[in-house]
Amino acid sequence: MIRRILSLAAVVITALLLQSTVFGQLRLLGVRPELLYLVTISIALLEGPNEGATVGFVSGLAQDFLMNEPKGLTALTLTLLGYGVGMFRQFIVSPSPLVPTIVVGIGTAAGIAFYEIVSVLLGNFHEDTAYGVKVALLTAAYNAVLTPILYPLLRRITEGSRPRRVVRF
């Protein structure tokens, strides 16, 4: 259990570090990927709603603490996103390797849109609607492109950290 927590914590910290350094530079058409959204959705797909919501909350809160935006907003967004994707995975019957890519793309767009709407309600969203839509769609596209590279890595990490069953005869 401790190994599992440490593995997921390492994943979140690594994603946060990459997001605030190398991915921070990668603004394509003015928008950059959101690694923590990708990590939350992937963990939720691989492990289910419990882990999805927990990883979403922790990674969202960590991102909130590094931003000048209202704290708790990303945590709320990623908690609901992790739970939603985790619950949705029971309806996925296709074994296609494209499934994670599509789910990450749609999930990221939905998550960013939710974040923007709540920001508007809190009076903290100063960009225009066109920019909001552009960010949601482009971030979804970038995350979808990154998924075939990062999803197998995350699957290996989560499977490797699962407690091994001991069978006694």
Among 30, 149, 165, 167, binds another protein (CB under 8 A): 30
Residue 70 Cα to chain centre, angstroms: 19
Interface with another protein (CB under 8 A), residue total 58
Closer CB to another protein, 3 or 13, in the complex: 13
| Binding of residue 42 to another protein (CB under 8 A) | no
| Binding of residue 139 to another protein (CB under 8 A) | yes
What backbone phi and psi angles, to 5 degrees, belong to 31?
Answer: -130, 150
| Binding of residue 9 to another protein (CB under 8 A) | no
Is the alpha carbon torsion for 16, 22, 24, 27 positive or negative? negative
Among 1, 2, 90, 163, binds another protein (CB under 8 A): 90
Least Å distance, CB 169 to another protein, is 26
The single-letter code of the amino acid at 167 is V
Question: Distance between CA 78 and CA 165 in Å, rounded?
Answer: 31
| Binding of residue 113 to another protein (CB under 8 A) | no
Question: Distance between CA 163 and CA 157 in Å, rounded?
Answer: 12
CA distances from 22 to 17, 32, 58 (A): 8, 10, 21
Binding site for another protein (CB under 8 A): 13, 16-28, 30-32, 34, 48-50, 53-54, 57, 60-76, 79-80, 83, 87, 89-90, 92-93, 112, 119, 122, 125-127, 131, 135, 139
